[in-house]
Structure 1
Amino acid sequence: MRQNPARRAALLDGAIEVLAREGARGLTQRGVDKEAGVPIGTTSNYFRNRNDLLVQAGVRIYERLRPEEDALSEMFDRAQDPASYRAMLRESVDRVADFRSGHLALLELRLEATRRPELRTLLTERVRADIDENVTRHEAAGLPGGAVAVLLMYLAMNWLIVEQLTLPDVLTDAERDELVTQAVERIVTPFFTATT
């Protein structure tokens, strides 16, 4: 297998675009070669088979979705009341929505994971690790509500993102913004109020 990290990343970015546009069934090594603008056969030099390509594309999506450590720490440090907590959530939703193809590809991978145990294992471990990290950061920042608040916000924001990316005309920007406000007001604000 080839080891040029920049070429490998470009191929995985191409795979993400193909997944988002054509779905998991449309992902082929030839399609990735075309998307990445490389000679036919290049992808097969980097990924031993389609399953490997799917799994590694999942890893790459998370690499690209994750903010830098300093930005992540700053987001949690700023969230000290309901208003700043809402701002943190809006930043998170916007960051994911800005990488539309990545999130759509991730949805495709989640569906494909129902048929591919290796992919299911990767995504399960990654999502669980993200949830655990969010709970840890939430608690370390002194934010109220603990794991239950984090999980409820995680589920609410994820579906809001899915709605925004797949059927963007169902909700207006103002409605989405109000839903973030109401989620914080109903899930997190009572915990802020109880600790003051």
Structure 2
Amino acid sequence: MPNPARRTALADAAIDVLAEEGARGLTFRAVDAKAGVPAGTTSNYFASRDALLAAAGAHVFVRLAPDPAEVDARLRQPRDRELVARFMHDILDRATADRAGHLALLELRLESTRKPELAALFTDTMTRGLRDNTAFHLDAGLPGDRTTVELLHVAMTGLIVEHLTLPGFLGRAAVTVLIDALVDKVVTPGE
């Protein structure tokens, strides 16, 4: 009988291997070693490397998701540009706290350019995520529209890539200023 906790631990280990070794380093043996399980365990849970990539791709979003209690606490604040900026800073904070998760996400994006099946799965996941984020933004009554959310998404994605791959390029203080400027320029007051 499959053990869901073990499957999750293996997906976490796969994410860490992707972040450390890149997609080429993602092997069943490497995941077994990272998870600290007996050799052959990963292959018992995932029929192929592609299945392991898909599991890592699905689980990385679980790892990177905000804490619902923190989101609820933030939503008790006024629904203004400052709150949108706080959410954007929270995204960067989570990216920094789980650097491996975001680096794995980048590796998965690159790998999806070479694997059509992974690209389809990843595109579907990203599309749902952006749709859910847009619905959250609009349903919460935050200022801005669909285009606002899309602009924030692509800009934050680029900012996170810069910050995690070349942290000395802009530095945390500059990134903080850029997030505030991004929200100031993209989110129209009073929308």
Q: Alpha carbons of 1:96 and 1:75: their partners in 2 closer, same or farther (altered >3 Å)? A: farther
CA deviation map 1:7-45 (0-9, x unaligned) = 111111111111001100111001111111111111110
How far residue 81 of structure 1 moved from its aligned partner, in angstroms, is 1.7
How far residue 70 of structure 1 moved from its aligned partner, in angstroms, is 4.0
Output the TM-score relative to the length of structure 2. Answer: 0.94
> Is it true that 1:192 corresponds to 2:151 in the alignment?
no
Map of 2:51 onto structure 1 = 52
In structure 2, C-alpha distance between the alignment counterparts of 1:69 and 1:115, rounded to whole Å: 34
Map of 1:132 onto structure 2 = 131
Q: Alpha carbons of 1:74 and 1:134: their partners in 2 closer, same or farther (altered >3 Å)? A: farther
Output the TM-score relative to the length of structure 1. Answer: 0.91
In structure 2, C-alpha distance between the alignment counterparts of 1:159 and 1:167, rounded to whole Å: 12
Map of 2:176 onto structure 1 = 177
> Is it true that 1:20 corresponds to 2:23 in the alignment?
no
Segment drifting more, 14-23 vs 84-93 = 84-93
How far residue 79 of structure 1 moved from its aligned partner, in angstroms, is 5.6
Between the two proteins, the alignment pairs up a number of residues equal to 191
Listed as ranges, the gaps of 5+ residues in structure 2 are none
SS at match of 2:189: helix
Percent identity, aligned pairs only, is 46
In structure 1, C-alpha distance between the alignment counterparts of 2:44 and 2:75, rounded to whole Å: 41
Map of 2:106 onto structure 1 = 107
Deviating runs (4+, > 6 A) in structure 1? Answer: none
Q: Conserved in 2, the CA contact under 8 Å of 1:76 and 1:138?
A: no
RMSD, aligned CA = 1.5
How far residue 47 of structure 1 moved from its aligned partner, in angstroms, is 0.4
> Is it true that 1:168 corresponds to 2:186 in the alignment?
no
In structure 2, C-alpha distance between the alignment counterparts of 1:152 and 1:142, rounded to whole Å: 17
